[in-house]
Structure formats: structure tokens, C-alpha cells
Amino acid sequence: MRPLRTAVLALLTAAAGLLPTVAAVRMNSSADDATAHAASLRTPVLVSALDEPVLDDAGGTGAAMSTLPLLRAERAPEALWRAAQQHHIGNEMTAFSSDWPQPHCLAIWIDGVEVFSSNPDPVIPASVQKLITAAAALAVVDPGEELVTKVLTDSEIADGVLDGTVWVVGGGDPLIMTQSYADSHRRQPQLRTPMESLADDLVGLGIETLRGNLIADESRYDTTRFPETWPQRYITQLNSGPLSALNLNDGITGFTTTLSAAEHPARWFVSTLADLLRVRGVSVDVEIDVSAAPSGMSELARLTSPPLVEIIQQMLRESNNTTAEMMLREIGLRSAGEGSTPAGAGAAERIVSDLLPDQSRPAVVDGSGLDRQNMVTCSFLAALLDHYGPESAFAAGLPVAARTGTLSHRFAEHPAAGRLHAKTGLLTGVNALAGFIETDSGTVTFAQMLNGVPPEGRVGLELQESLAGQLLRYPVGDAAALRGLTRAPA
């Protein structure tokens, strides 16, 4: 019996040694061959024809050889199943995306590994660009920090009268809103910093009469109202409101029927504050102006924003262009000492490139993705998402299919409903989607950007829906992944 056992063990050793060679050959074969190879690893390859017991090394009786499957997925090296999975997905996704509009790109990551990438060249990301803005912002701010709008004065309240100069100093809060403006949004509730609270706090100080000067200080950022690279139609269409460090209602003054923008956002802010005080019974007789507050003034009141992480999440969830452009200026201020779009764009590009030094550097021109000069690869975006992961505060801001934000009205009858968490992007000729999708066995990270999409119809949206359905088929994890390669197509 011992010679038989020795011969079998030798044969097993030789077979095991062939695994890397088999894997290498299989990586150069067809997808069908890879599937068949994966299937072979699920069943015993070498078993004894004898039913008699085998002596173990301790001299005892071992299990019959017919009960010992020797080459199974559970025993295959991790590198083998990863290579088989990557090969299979690569062949499948190449065929799946072959007729997409050009140029396009697609990247898929599973368990921290890029298993598929098409087109290494950068393309236009549209609003998926906000992922870059969010990442750069989180790198330069404390997530729990709040942006503060301050009311300062050089006078004192005497017998209910404040007679002097009052400055309202903008802190870059993009979410200051009146209740009526918040109510005008289709999706509710809206995260906001309530403008009414500032008026209430001033009344609470005992102010019954306000005389003198009411001055807006928007000096935190520059006063360029829109990125200078934008075409005039973006401004006319109010794809973003005019930008100011002292911002109210996204810089939008009219919103009940047709939108209109404030010509001077900071001046309009303090004018609205004066009106809110009057509604609360305060006599207001002031001259309104715009200038920087001098140092040494006394603080009367302050208005604090939600935590910055929540502002960033709102920007991603609702794809708010005004918030994104103001966040970019905040990035510029903190990284380069200048609250401008060019400073913020340069800083954001550098920050995210430092996060992912192995990826091609993106071109950052604005914060919202409206500018068609923004360029990035799918591999970069998927790597950025993977860097944070699906359980991160970063990922928590992504819209959820058929549930929240810009995906709330999409995928309602799709298997991805509630399972797809992704940033959307839409410009003329551009559709983009990047995020996470929860499969039956784990999470797949992906980025898809389609340029050259026909402007009519739903071609881009339908390709996003078909991609989500395809990604839901992919397994995650070692043995699960290998077994999944043999599943019949859904």
C-alpha cells in the first residue's frame, strides 16, 4: 500500500505544479475556454479508483481517496481566480461595449483591483467631475467644520436702537436659503442654512431700530460671478447662480415662475436681511453698500452652515453646480491663498493627483463639470471611488437609484433600484455614471463615460441601465468569483 500512496502523492505534486502553467495558457484563450477551465476547478480532477482506506502519515486510517476532491476552487490560489475573473470580464465587457458611442470609456474595480478598463484616454466627464471637487474639498477641510457668516458692528445697542455701521461678512456658505426658495425645489427636504435664523437672532438681541449703514463683505472670494471659461449660454440659462462669498438662494432672486439672477449677490443678501428684519417689526433705515469689514469690530450674531461633509454630500446628491463652484473657490483659498476658480482648479487637480499617483492626471477647469475642457479617465474616477470605498462619507453623498437625488426618478423598475449608488453626469452629447453597485456577493466599483451620444432620445441613459444590469451579474470574493464565472448569462 505504501508504494501506491507514494505514487499518488507524486502525481498530485506534479498536477499542482501545473496550475500556474494552466492558468497562463488559459489567460490567452477564449472566454469560453476560461469558463470551462473555471468549471474544471470546481470538481475533483484526481481521485482514487479504490474504495479502500489509505494510511495517513501517523499510521492511522485516513479517508478513502474517492472522498478527497484534490483540485477545487477553494484550494486554488487567489491569483488564479483573480486572473480568470479578470480575463472573463475583460472579454465579456469588450464585446458588451463595442458598439457604444465614441469616444467612451469604462473601468470596473472589484475588491480593490481593476478588472477591466477600456480607453486609457481622458474624456469629458460632465457632472461626474464633482467627484473630483468633493475629494479635493475633503482633503483640505475638516469634515465636521462649519462655514460661518458673521454680523459685525462698530456700535452698541442702546434702548433698542443700533445706530452705526453693520457689516455682514460672508463665510462662503453655499446653502443659505430662505424657506420659500427651499420649498421651490422639486426634491424635499432641502439641506439649508436658514436665512431667517440670522434675522431672528438680531431681533433676539433687542434691536428695534437699525440706522446707519448695512454693508456686505464678500471679500473671502474674488468677485468673478462665473468661471471665465464658460460660454455665455451657461450664464443665460442659469446653470449656476452668480458666485459670491456672501450668497443667498444660489444667487437666484426670482424662482416662482421663471428664474432670474442677482446682479450683485452680496448687496442682495443684505437687502433681503433688511426686509426680514422689517417683517419682524424692526424699523430699518440704512444705506446699503459693499466693502470689506475692518478688523476689531464687535460680533453681533453669526449664522453657521451644516458640517462641510454634509454640504459636499448635498453637492453630489443634488449635483448642485453653484455649491460645486463655491467649494472649488474654498479649495483655492485654503490651498493657494486665493478664493478663485483658477486657483481652486489648479489646487484640486494637484490634490487628487497626489491621492492617486499611479493614475493619469485629470484636467480640472471648474468645479461643477459644466466646462467641456474638464478631462479625466474612467480608470481615475473608479480608482478615486475605490480609494474612499462604499462605506465612506464620500460615498454616502452619492444618489441612490430610484431613491435619492438625481437618480430618484430613474431605475424604478430596474434590478439596480436601491443597489446603485452613483454620480450622474449630463451635457449635450455626454452621459456619465460612476459609483458603486451592490451585487449578491459584494460591491462593484465602476465609471462609465459616454461622449458623442446622440442628442435625441435615451441612448446614453439606456446604456447606463444596461451596464447596471450587467454589473449586477458579477460576483465578488475568491471562491464566489470563480464559481460566478460559470453562471449562465442573466
Model confidence, pTM = 0.81
Q: Is the dihedral of CA 484, 485, 488, 490 positive or negative?
A: positive
Supply 376's cell numbers.
479625466
CA distance 483 to 309: 40
Within 10 Å of residue 60's Cβ, how many Cβ atoms? 8
CA distance 221 to 169: 11
Q: Is the pLDDT of residue 347 over 70?
A: yes
Predicted pLDDT at 79 = 67
Average pLDDT rounded to a whole number, residues 54-82:
47
Alpha-helix runs per DSSP H in 237-320: 265-279, 308-318
Query: Structurally, what CATH architecture does the domain formed by 86-141+311-321+337-484 represent?
Result: 3-Layer(aba) Sandwich (3.40)
Residue 423, SS3 per DSSP = strand
Q: Is the pLDDT of residue 75 over 50?
A: no
Q: Is the pLDDT of residue 41 over 70?
A: no
CA distance 270 to 262: 12
- Grid look-up 501545473 returns 18
CA distance 238 to 249: 13
DSSP at 391: T
pLDDT tens digit sequence for 198-222: 999 999 999 999 999 999 999 999 9
% of the chain residues with pLDDT over 70: 80
Predicted pLDDT at 257 = 75
Band (77; pLDDT cuts 50, 70, 90): low
Supply 271's cell numbers.
437687502
The domains spanning 86-141+311-321+337-484 and 148-306 adopt the same CATH topology: no
Predicted pLDDT at 477 = 61
Query: Higher model confidence: residue 15 or residue 432?
Result: 432
Task: For domain 148-306, say whether CATH 3.50.80.20 is its number.
Answer: yes
Query: Higher model confidence: residue 146 or residue 24?
Result: 146
Beta bridge mates, 176: 193
Residue 238, SS3 per DSSP = coil
- Up-side HSE of residue 73: CA atoms within 13 Å toward CB? 22
Supply 178's cell numbers.
430662505
151 within 8 A of 301, measured Cβ to Cβ? yes
Q: Is the pLDDT of residue 30 over 70?
A: no
CA distance 289 to 350: 37
**Across the chain, which distance is largest between two alpha carbons, in Å?**
109
CA distance 394 to 389: 8
Enclosing H/E stretch for 381: helix 378-388
What strand order describes the sheet that includes 430-438? 113-118, 104-110, 443-451, 430-438, 420-427
pLDDT tens digit sequence for 218-250: 999 999 999 999 999 999 999 999 999 999 999
Query: Higher model confidence: residue 8 or residue 286?
Result: 286
Average pLDDT rounded to a whole number, residues 42-59:
34
Within 10 Å of residue 419's Cβ, how many Cβ atoms? 21
- Grid look-up 443597489 returns 419
Beta bridge mates, 104: 450
CA distance 445 to 5: 48
Enclosing H/E stretch for 166: strand 161-169
176 within 8 A of 195, measured Cβ to Cβ? yes
Give the start-to-end residue ranges of the domains of the chain: 2-76, 86-141+311-321+337-484, 148-306
Query: Higher model confidence: residue 481 or residue 304?
Result: 304
Torsion region of 427: left, alpha or beta (phi above 0 gives left; psi -120 to 50 gives alpha):
beta
Band (360; pLDDT cuts 50, 70, 90): very high
Supply 447's cell numbers.
465609471
Closest to 246 measured CA to CA, from 191, 299, 200, 303: 303
131 within 8 A of 423, measured Cβ to Cβ? yes
DSSP at 426: E
Q: Is the pLDDT of residue 37 over 50?
A: no
Supply 302's cell numbers.
453669526
- Up-side HSE of residue 384: CA atoms within 13 Å toward CB? 32
Within 10 Å of residue 67's Cβ, how many Cβ atoms? 11
Predicted pLDDT at 13 = 43
Burial class (CB in 10 A: 0-12, 13-18, 19+), 54: middle
Average pLDDT rounded to a whole number, residues 342-364:
98
DSSP at 401: T
Phi, psi of 163 (to 5 degrees): -120, 110
Band (81; pLDDT cuts 50, 70, 90): low
